[in-house]
Amino acid sequence: MDFPGGKVPFTEDLAWLGPGFTPRPTIPCYRALDSQGAPLPGTSLPHDIDQALATRMYETMISLQAVDTIFYEAQRQGRFSFYMTSTGEESTAVASAAALNPDDVVFTQYREQGVLMWRGYTPLDMANQCYGNALDSGKGRQMPVHYGSKALNFHTISSPLATQLPQAVGAAYALKLEGKAAVAACYFGEGAASEGDFHAALNFSATLSAPVVFICRNNGWAISTPASEQYRGDGIAGRGPSYGVPSLRVDGGDAVAVYNAVAEARRVALERRGPVLLEAMSYRSGHHSTSDDSSRYRAAEEMAAWRARDPVARFERWMAVRGWWDEARGVGARKAARREAIAALAAAAKQPRPPLSEMFSDVYDEPPPHLVAQRAEVEAFVRAHPETLPAGMPLE
């Protein structure tokens, strides 16, 4: 007897499956490097990383770390209102981005600036966005770190959590309809995976067969909420098979493993024209944002232990084994990255703000009469009271 809800085997046992009864095995975590960065023997590595690729990944991660450090300090000095670092997750972002194609459409949450930097967004572009100046590709409309670049196939970040997941499904559906050999890659945190949109998106991607590579950054903390209070099941990877989505857990701090996992994920998603789910396990070494002080809820020992497993240091050791890295190169790279980040801030600070007239553009394709009237009202007021127009902001 087949039910419309599924062809199921029968049993005469009344037995529960799950925690406290017959447990399901915890999904193991794929890795290629140990916690110090020494390569592990017998690792399955379907995708090779040559020196050029490794060097580019390394330099991007170094640049990312410099930008994160310097821009965080800049916010503390009051130069812009807000910043979020991705400390501890550099490899998750950069190594995954390296495994994607430029045609793949990327949706992110807010801690994946490494993906954007891999694709070519410079520290200067980032500084312009954080300052919200006239050179920002977002025209000063979004808060800091909410980057977006159509040219780089990176969707503008929107603050509400997990809204990007169903959108990624829609984008993948569009790519499929248009016959493109590309995937939608969608990043989110383990906290965002509690939102309804996560469940909708996983379910939709499977039922509608959309080629999405879902990449969850499980960094253990959602502001002050530890993962142990975020879910009771087997993390995020544990949910995938229940939705009909093939899933893999990977060490997010292991750039070699992440690269291989994402490259495989992309291949599988395209081959099967369907979704896959990756859960990258890592640690949020920094605070949630500049509005947070995580020492209020986290032990100093825990934070120190994880800093010792810095993903960039692990990758350095892996490169060193191959003779592609030494101390001097590391020091030189970091100095150059620091200089670039500082110069970017200085240059961005000098740019004017977007003009006041830009407040009304792009709400629609063309401003309708009521916005034209509102704009005229604002401009008339400012002309009558020029002292109300902030310094550095032109009228138009």
Q: Which CB, 88 or 132, lies closer to another protein?
A: 132
Q: Which CB, 9 or 369, lies closer to another protein?
A: 369
State the nearest-atom distance from the C-beta of 212 to another protein, in Å.
Answer: 10
- Active-site option among 159, 224, 242, 291: 159
Q: Which CB, 149 or 290, lies closer to another protein?
A: 149
CA dist., res. 167 & res. 171, Å (int):
6
Identity of the amino acid at 78: G
State the nearest-atom distance from the C-beta of 83 to another protein, in Å.
Answer: 18
Q: Which CB, 94 or 201, lies closer to another protein?
A: 201
Active site residue 194: no
Helix axis angle, 90-99 to 255-272, nearest 10°? 40
At which residue do the structure tokens 């008339």 appear?
A: 380
The DSSP-derived string for 306-371 is: HHTT-HHHHHHHHHHHTTS--HHHHHHHHHHHHHHHHHHHHHHHHSPPPPGGGGSTTSSSS--HHH
Q: Which CB, 62 or 105, lies closer to another protein?
A: 105
Encode 20-29: b = buried (16+ Cβ within 10 Å), e = exposed: eeeeeeebeb
Any residues with CB less than 8 A from the CB of 217 and at least 6 apart, and which? 89, 92, 109, 111, 112, 187, 188, 189, 190, 252, 280, 282
- Active-site option among 47, 59, 73, 194: 73
The DSSP-derived string for 43-112 is: ----S---HHHHHHHHHHHHHHHHHHHHHHHHHHTTSSS-----TT-HHHHHHHHHHS-TTSEEE--SS-
Active site residue 47: no
- Active-site option among 146, 155, 287, 288: 288
Active site residue 159: yes
Q: Which CB, 35 or 163, lies closer to another protein?
A: 163
State the nearest-atom distance from the C-beta of 358 to another protein, in Å.
Answer: 9
Q: Which CB, 59 or 358, lies closer to another protein?
A: 358
Enumerate binding residues for another protein (CB under 8 A).
105, 107, 136-142, 146, 148-150, 155-156, 158-160, 163-178, 184, 196-197, 199-201, 203-204, 207-208, 361-365, 368-371
Structural contact between residues 108 and 171, judged by C-beta atoms closer than 8 angstroms: no
Show contacts of 150-156: CB within 8 Å, 24+ apart.
Answer: 152/102, 152/116, 152/119, 152/120, 152/121, 153/102, 153/103, 153/104, 153/105, 153/106, 153/119, 154/106, 154/108, 154/115, 154/116, 154/119, 154/121, 155/105, 155/106, 155/107, 155/108
Active site residue 199: no
State the nearest-atom distance from the C-beta of 276 to another protein, in Å.
Answer: 17
**Residue closest to 217 by CA, chosen among 385, 86, 322, 83:** 86
Q: Residues with catalytic annotation?
A: 73, 159, 288-289
